[in-house]
Structure 1
């Protein structure tokens, strides 16, 4: 059987955000224009599961990243920062997963720093989007989208099983559909870990 066509939302399930997903990245690449060389990259995991369990509005700050670097080394050039909050545990419970808009994320200052000063190519999260649930009220609103996508960086959302990855040493393969003019795509995200 040949499937002639199908339709799906670009930003549904585990998905990839391309720069054109946000107004600050409108001159950037759509998901079909992301170079294949950027779909396979080293990844690090910053784990703040305990903080997010205590406070669903927990925000990753620059000092958290710098403390992680002091212990593990510099963020990988051209790699992914995967932000573990334990939120994937709620992935099969839509009400708990959305949590009435109270989900962990990244502060405005940290989003700006990751976009403008860090060497990473993007951020991956376990929550529905790269921004915190309360990010609509930040200044600017949705800073991860605004800063990262505006700097030709990417987002991976609704990731699972980050608990299985080491703090350093994984390689992520992110395989979005090459949707022409697409601002994003459902994505199969795999991680390779040396055993």
Structure 2
């Protein structure tokens, strides 16, 4: 069995979507602080962490982009939605800021030699981290899906899809339209994935990415993992 970590590290002030608060990590206790109880002296280390429910590698809950009463928060989404069969499509050749068309999605699917099955997780590798990680353009210049491509995935019956960038579609109006389309079609997506290049050309795998049980959460950081048996 091979496990591939698809998550980014959560670090202090890690790159994030401009609309969300930053990750703030500080030391709460450290080993230079000794505590004595009776004849025993001990030390411990602990961190204080403040972050958005959309920090780092994360999944959006329906309530994040669906204003209708009853839209599910992250603690209400069934756990089986985060333990699925998955494939990866290679779109790493597309230009930055590009909106990937249905024709391009179909070509990538054909090249993968796979099919999209109901409830699949579909990873879409766009080479975002290769080109933008560590660059000030990272939160802005990423490629993503055209609106019709979001609907194309929904028509295939997927459960969710995943991207490396902070949003599923290029920055601006199209990104808001993509979020709204996910709400309308009953699918969701993950953002800020890593190591997707290690999935290309390897066929079908098991995806695991459980969220934190945040009551009322509009999303959650996840530890995303690809498992090849």
| TM-score bracket for this pair, using the shorter chain length | 0.7 to 0.9
Task: State the TM-score, normalizing by the size of structure 2.
Answer: 0.71
The SS at the match of 1:49 is coil
C-alpha RMSD of the superposition: 2.3
Structure 2, unaligned stretches of length 5 or more?
1-43
Rounded Cα–Cα distance in structure 1 between residues aligned with 2:176 and 2:133 = 25
Is the CA contact (8 Å cut-off) linking 2:90 and 2:200 kept in structure 1?
Answer: no
Shift of 1:26: 5.3
Q: Give the Å deviation of 1:34.
A: 1.3
Find the aligned partners of 1:27 and 1:150 in 2 and give their Cα distance.
13
Q: Hey, what's the Cα distance between the residues in 2 that align with 1:65 and 1:26? A: 33
Deviation at 1:23, TM superposition (A): 3.1
Q: Match for residue 105 of structure 2?
A: 65
Alignment coverage as a number of residue pairs: 183
Query: Within 2, Cα distance between the matches of 1:34 and 1:181?
Result: 11
Q: Which has the higher strand share?
A: 2
Q: Which residue, out of 106, 110, 117, partners 1:76?
A: 117
- Equivalent residue runs for 1:156-195 within 5 Å: 156-167=190-201, 168-194=203-229
1:137 aligns with 2:178: no
* CA radius of gyration, larger in: 2
Unaligned runs of 5+ in 1: none
**1:97-141 deviation per Cα after TM superposition (whole angstroms, max 9, x unaligned):** 12xx221000011112223x12111110000112212xx233xx5
Q: CA deviation at 1:25?
A: 6.0
Relative to the length of structure 1, the TM-score reads: 0.83
